[in-house]
Amino acid sequence: MIICLLFRTGVFLLLFSAVNSCLPQNKPDALLKSNGLNIAKEDTTIRVQQSDTSLYHEKMRQLANGDKSGRWPPKTVIPGEGAILPFKRIVAYYGNFYSTRMGALGQYPPQQMLEKLRAEVKDWERADTLTPVMPALHYIAVTAQQSPGSGGKYRLRMPNQQIDKAIELAAQVNGIVFLDIQVGLSTLEEEIPALKKYLKMPQVHLGIDPEFSMKKGQQPGTAIGTFDAADINYAAEYLAALVKEYGLPPKILVVHRFTGAMLTNYNKIKMHKDVQLVIDMDGYGFPAIKKNTYYSCIYKEPVQFAGFKLFYKNDTEKVKQLMRPADILQLKPQPIYIQYQ
């Protein structure tokens, strides 16, 4: 099988390497007890008694990191029983096993990759001793393509064996899995249900990438795509229905973003107690650019939880060292989801 995978480090996507702003013109442990709230440390969830939410609010204030604007912490729903966020920080490795250039998952042999992930987890545990860390593999299960393919959708679904591999590897580090979707000319309504077999598993969560959602019919990579609040609401409602149907802990939905137009009508996103929404700052470059993108895309338009992406290659082209956890924890709000590519 010949697979053509899109990645922003590819030659034909270099056009967008400088696009890191959200300005309008950029279109292309043991049982813990605190305040009467019981939190049991488990492999993939923390059990939260909904009758007592004091620790939840405490953790949300902690993530706001002293923000005085009134934006953070955002006013949102209390999570259902078994929620991971904000009680644990997720540290994820991103990529696709077929590509050495799309991220850490394919760049390193599996056991070396897991060792590097363990090292990043320990680094974050040292940087923030108040927040346990949950490792994760963020696997691109549907990749945008340069060619239309037999269905004319400009996307390729990964075989089940590759998704199974991600789940098996994550289990080796007691971690969770995110299945990421790049729809191309397809839709979330078509792609998410195709992954139901996996999304109904308690340890499997979802990521969606507006960059490759080509609503105007362009070839992926020739322009930066977009999702609207309506798309996010569909994905969240689908996940919430799975939680109810199968009695699952809340699902996490990660939405990538590095320009304003990638996510429209953010204030119309509907929140669910059974779905935890992370807007992940997906821009790369030297620290000042990343911080500016984070301010524009995350800080100014709060939804629920914040994420921050680090690129081992792209972030270090002009500086020698990747941003450290201590640097990232200075941000307002503090990201609760960290992704390494």
pLDDT of residue 140: 98
* Sequence spans of domains, the chain: 11-15+29-340
Contacts of 96 (CB under 8 A, 6+ apart): 5, 102, 103, 105, 106, 139, 140, 143, 158, 162
Predicted pLDDT of residue 44: 41
Residue 142 has pLDDT above 70, yes or no: yes
Instruction: Determine the average pLDDT of the residues in 34-51.
Output: 36
> What's the CATH number for 11-15+29-340?
3.20.20
Q: What is the pLDDT of residue 52?
A: 59
Please check the confidence at residue 224 and state whether its pLDDT lies above 60: yes
Question: Average of pLDDT values for 259-283?
Answer: 97
Quote the tokens at residue 139. 């696997």
Mean pLDDT over 235-241 rounds to 98
Q: What is the pLDDT of residues 147-204, one digit of tens each?
A: 999 889 999 999 999 999 999 999 999 999 999 999 999 999 999 999 999 999 999 9
Asked whether residue 317 carries a pLDDT value surpassing 90, the answer given is: no
